[in-house]
Structure 1
Amino acid sequence: MGRAGQISPAFWLRTGGAPQMQISQNSRKRDMGRRKKLAEIDRLDGNPSRRLIEESGIEALGEPFIPEHLSDDARGCIDVIKQAMPPHIYSALDSFLLSAFATAWAIHKKATLVISDPKFQWIEASKRGAGVESPWIKMQRQQAALMASLGDRLGLDPKSRAALKMPDATKRKSKFAGLLGLDVSSHLKN
């Protein structure tokens, strides 16, 4: 903007004459809120809030596949994840997220193997001669952070896994179960 509220020609061309609303990074974070859980994950959690579980979005179809371009380590990682999780948690669309997690794991494994070598140099000389940490350490740290982020989304971290319960899991019978004379809990569906 020019002097006294006048619009300069450069501003007019750049914005079409309309003043742009500036949204700060903090206000965006404040408005985002907590992401809602997927319906299937909510069911596996046992629905502790006892609210009606609303189906969200469309149901993805198919079984996850292992892309051919992945390394053997990454393919093995996806195999372990698929065998360890209950059926129908992942679909074919989740294959790409699983691939990203498995690739991060394979790179992390490679970096860890290099670092564990007894001849490994923790500090290397930079172009200017200053001591800097080895790029392998940075790579290992970045892949660990990526695995933590993707693992949370895939339900692989210990906190998410501890909260999951199978829908058909047998529950202990309450000492108040027959108090009303009929089995009320069997009529409720959530």
Structure 2
Amino acid sequence: MSKLRPKVIRDPVHNIIPFEDTDCDRLLLDLINTKEFQRLRRIKQLGMSELVFPGANHSRFAHCIGVMQVARRMMDRVARLSGKKIRDDQRTAVLVAALLHDVGHGPFSHAFEKVTGESHEARTVEIIQSASTEVGKRLRRYDKQLPDRLAVFFDEDIEAEERKAAEIPDYLTQVVASQLDADRFDYLLRDSYATGTDYGRYDL
């Protein structure tokens, strides 16, 4: 396998988002390059809000990459403060879930859900677990069990046995899905930046 040249994404909120020469970061870059994820470039983060806030034309694509970076920082901080060892496979699952958490969004984001009655979470799980999507194929190529393990981040009704089998502790699933998660940490900063408002600014 050829060595991965250092890659960075420059982001207006998080500045430099690096990708190292690791199996995990290779997978993340592969997922970013799928057609399902690239589609998020055309999905507005705040739906039709740019009609009121002209600067609010940022995408779900940028937001998802930002959430991945926040999740990485959160895990690094937890490991440093608690002394807990986060396994590589657990770390990969969290970062992949953070990156893909909005891949199921339709046009105009949440406004589309009200029209179709289908949640973006349900669509996200379909994309992740499907054997015919580029996302699903890349996940299975990396680890055949990974698509099923990712369900613990998106399905609140998952059986206790399945949750236990995924071997992802609650404190890690909460990095992606909780009342104080990487998703909220990113969109507060990103949306306030794009709209020119102060309500979401804080020191991350």
Confirm or deny a common fold (TM above 0.5). Answer: no
Q: What TM-score, normalized to structure 2?
A: 0.28
Of Structure 1 and Structure 2, the greater helix share is in: 2
Q: What TM-score, normalized to structure 1?
A: 0.30
Q: Highest CA radius of gyration, 1 or 2?
A: 1
